[in-house]
Amino acid sequence: MKVIIIGGFLGSGKTTTLLKLGKYLNDKGEKIAIIVNEIGEIGVDGTTLDIEGVETREITNGCICCTLKIDMEQALDSLAEEYGPDTVIIEPTGVAFPRQIKEEIELMKIADMEFSPIINLIDGSRFDLEIEQVPKFIKTQIEDADILGINKIDVATDEQINKVKALLQHYNNNDARILEFSAKENEGNFEELIETISGEGKQREHSAKQNSIAESNVSSHAIEFAIESNDLEIKKGHELANGIVDSILSQFIHLNPDFIGHIKMSMDLPETFLKISLTSSTNKPEIEIFERENVANPKVRALAAVTNIRQDEVVKILENTIEETFTEMGIALQRIQQHTDTKNIINLCDNSI
Ligand SMILES: Nc1nc2c(ncn2[C@@H]2O[C@H](COP(=O)(O)OP(=O)(O)OP(=O)(O)O)[C@@H](O)[C@H]2O)c(=O)[nH]1
Ligand SMILES: [Mg+2]
């Protein structure tokens, strides 16, 4: 069983890359499974993966540094036994150190496992902010990588990309291969990345354990509400989503003008699934809309994981903004669940992705 680990800070493009890699390997006839570990117990991306045709199975919740180990071991064991994939693709949370995840898995002594090179994605369009906001954390992620992927070249300038490349060469002493691409647009070296992944990972001395979440300076909160209206139309949903994210953005900027992270919100509306995503104080929100069959229980889920803003502020802003915006539109919400912890989801790919 081959294990591929796709690391990278919050919002760097891991899920986008994973879905394309999954599709490529699947088209080649490989049987694959995907493990996604999202910060916050409410899987905002789980639904997206689901829509892309990926079967989702949830396992227990836990923190990356303790229970996750047990969850991951159980997940891999049961996958190997019950599903027998050729390849497992793992997306750790954006606040994990990918090499630490690899080392934990190596200790599990699961039979016939081999590792691909560790990929760490870097958002080429916001690297300045990453280095400014979480320098030590980003440097560790860079040192950890066998392949450094500068992503989002479609929205970065040549000057930005050249600067990132020079800094990556400076921070990575292990001759990591540097590739530049757009995972979303399939531009640049993206095909090369996909092909390089089939190679073999490098062996290294085990690193000293670090608490990655504490070092990331990230506060996160996730929340889920039932929408008490069965006729919320896509146009109004779109308007609501834009209004909420714009308001959260301006409140976060007030507390930290240079934050990076990932604010993502999804809405299950009667005939559509809508996802909105924002990855830094200077970035524009991106909306994706998917057609859906009739959904019986409309829901809104949101997750905010951002640098250098206090946890209680993140909780208050996320919850109040969603509740107030819906109330202003005359739509009632019912709280389903809320979490500030970490989540593991196992997604088993079926043949249709
Ligand atoms: N312009 C552009 N946007 C991209 C690219 N790759 C990903 N994105 C966008 O960046 C946002 C974050 O992408 P994800 O794939 O969800 O990032 P992630 O690393 O999985 O995020 P977390 O799991 O929250 O850490 C989404 O809005 C993507 O559409 C790219 O190559 N170009
Ligand atoms: Mg993701």
**Residue nearest to ligand 1 atom 14, measured at CA:** 13
Instruction: Determine the average pLDDT of the residues in 142-155.
Output: 95
What's the average model confidence in pLDDT over 327-339? Answer: 85
pLDDT classification of 47: cutoffs 50, 70, 90:
low
pLDDT band at 108 (very low <50, low <70, confident <90, very high): confident
Protein residue whose Cα sits closest to atom 15 of ligand 1: 13
The whole-number pLDDT of residue 182 equals 97
Of the listed ranges 13-17, 290-294, 307-311, the one predicted with least confidence: 290-294
In the chain, the domains with their CATH numbers are 2-214+342-349 (3.40.50.300), 217-339 (3.30.1220)
| Region 225-244 average pLDDT | 90
Taking residues 280-286, report their average pLDDT: 93
pLDDT band of 123, cuts 50, 70, 90: very high
Do 9 and 130 touch, CB atoms closer than 8 A?
Answer: yes
Pocket test for ligand 1, best of 141, 184, 303, 344 (most atoms within 8 A of CB): 184
Say yes or no to pLDDT of 316 above 90.
yes
User: 39 pLDDT band (50/70/90 cuts)?
Assistant: low
Ligand 1 mean position, distance from CA 230 (Å)? 30
Please state, for a pLDDT cut of 70, what percent of the chain lies above it: 82
Only one residue has tokens 């969850």, namely 71
Highest mean pLDDT: which of 69-83, 287-301, 305-319?
305-319
What pLDDT is stored for residue 250 in this prediction? Answer: 97
CA–CA gap between residue 6 and residue 251 (Å, rounded): 31
10 lines ligand 1 (CB under 6 A): yes
Rounded average pLDDT over 184-192: 93
Give me the percent of the chain exceeding a pLDDT of 90. Answer: 46
pLDDT computed for residue 52 by the predictor: 52
Two tokens, residue 340: 């500030």
- Asked whether 15 lines ligand 1 (CB < 6 A), one says yes
Q: Which of 9, 15, 154, 263 is the best mutation target for the ligand 1 pocket, counting ligand atoms within 8 Å of the beta carbon and taking the most? A: 15
* pLDDT (0 to 100) of residue 45: 59
Q: For residue 91, how far is its CA from the centre of ligand 2 (angstroms)? A: 7
How far does residue 324's CA lie from ligand 1's centre (Å)? 28
* CA angle 328–329–330, rounded 5-degree value: 90
- 58: pLDDT strictly greater than 50: no
Query: What is the arithmetic mean of pLDDT over 270-291?
Result: 90
Sheet holding 272-280, edge to edge: 286-291, 272-280, 260-268, 299-307, 218-227, 333-339
Position 141 pLDDT exceeds 50: yes
Instruction: Give the ligand whose atoms come closest to the C-alpha of residue 9.
Output: 1
Mean model confidence pLDDT for the chain: 83
Reply yes or no on whether the pLDDT at 129 is more than 80: yes
pLDDT bucket at 225, cuts 50 / 70 / 90: very high
**Average pLDDT of span 306-312:** 94
**Predicted local confidence at residue 348, as pLDDT:** 27
Predicted pLDDT of residue 197: 83
Output 49 or 311, whichever has higher pLDDT: 311
Report the 10 Å Cβ neighbour count for 4. 23
Q: What is the mean pLDDT of residues 41-53?
A: 52
| CA 321 – ligand 1 centroid, Å | 23
Stated pTM of the model: 0.89
The Cα 148–Cα 128 span in angstroms is 16
